[in-house]
Amino acid sequence: MGQQNCCPIFILIKKIYEKIVSLIIVTISALSVVISCKSGSAGEAYTLKMRLAPGDNFKQELNMNMDMKMAGFNMKMIMEAETSFEVLAADTSGKQMRLTYTKMKMKMDMGELNKAVSSDSMMNESQQKIVGKSVTLTLSPENEIIKVSGFDSLMNNDLYDPVTKQLFEKTFSKEQLNSMFGMMFNMYPSKPVRVGNSWTSKSKFNMANIDMGVNTKYKLIAVKDGIAEIDVDGKMDGDGNMKQENINVGMSMKGTQKGRMQIKISDGYLHSGSYKMDASAEVEMMGQKIPITMIADYEMTGK
């Protein structure tokens, strides 16, 4: 009987967990910079620039394994996601790209919460609906996403139920796509760098009413066999409020993401990368403060 009375709390905790996971996925985009390296006249300096030539096709695959502790419960999540990009046009006025989600698979093990809440991830069920869907992005000369085309046709399709349309609205809106992918297009150093040089990037975005900031330091470690190796040291922090089940939930979070990524010199697109996230958060709801710890490993592959 007691377990039944706790079910609403369990469901609330699960929804908060899913919101936090979505927020973490967005912060990964801040570290997913795509860089092209070309030797300078002395063979020592490198200009870091994304090619984005018309006709280019590239994909990014992300595998995530996360352990999270919240309210005395241990939760695990595995995610496999893949996004495809096709460059349609590029000139001095800007660029156009087609973005398609080609894979989205999530699995959660919530331990004791599985007794009260279905162990099948609600996130996995909903996210599957975006697989195969495409929109066209228009980027400014500074590589900021300024327009999303094709979004209206998704929203006006009578075959989709209101919940699915709401999912599309959250996934494909200009604001959301700028949060998810905008950072990967505009995080380059302003001048050529040599092996051993560092540069920094600062990004801010809002996700689920949480204002998030990511400060990242990059360092060119080596260039060998057509691959540039870059060290990544990111720090993130955020705070804000979100509503779940008509309950106001406050949240603050801090953490680090550290790792390496390898970039192909020939076209400037991601070859591979790996990161480790170590973060802590605090959720405040119904007069209580709940600490959260999160540790996650990420593997990224370019195709």
| Model confidence at 173: pLDDT above 70 | no
More confident residue, 31 or 138: 138
Q: Total domain count for the chain? A: 1
CATH number at residue 271: 2.30.230
More confident residue, 282 or 32: 282
Q: Which residue range is the domain that position 193 belongs to?
A: 2-302
More confident residue, 279 or 42: 279
pLDDT attached to residue 6: 47
Interatomic CA distance for residues 143 and 166, integer angstroms: 27
| Model confidence at 302: pLDDT above 60 | yes
Q: How confident is the model at residue 151 (pLDDT cuts 50, 70, 90)?
A: low
Q: Please give the full DSSP string across the chain, using - where no structure is assigned.
A: -HHHHHHHHHHHHHHHHHHHHHHHHHHHHTT-----EEE-TTS-EEEE-----TT-EEEEEEEEEEEEEETTEEEEEEEEEEEEEEEEEEETTEEEEEEEEEEEEEEEE-GGGGGTS-SS-HHHHHHGGGTT-EEEEEE-TT--EEEEESHHHHHT-TTS-HHHHHHHHHHHSHHHHHHHTGGGGS---SS-EETT-EEEEEEEEEETTEEEEEEEEEEEEEEETTEEEEEEEEEEEEEEEEEETTEEEEEEEEEEEEEEEEEETTT--EEEEEEEEEEEEEEEETTEEEEEEEEEEEEEEE-
Q: How confident is the model at residue 143 (pLDDT cuts 50, 70, 90)?
A: confident
pLDDT attached to residue 274: 92
Average pLDDT over residues 117-144: 70
pLDDT attached to residue 4: 42
pLDDT tens digit string along 94-114?
Answer: 899 998 989 888 777 776 655
pLDDT tens digit string along 243-290?
Answer: 666 777 788 889 998 999 888 877 878 889 998 999 998 888 778 888
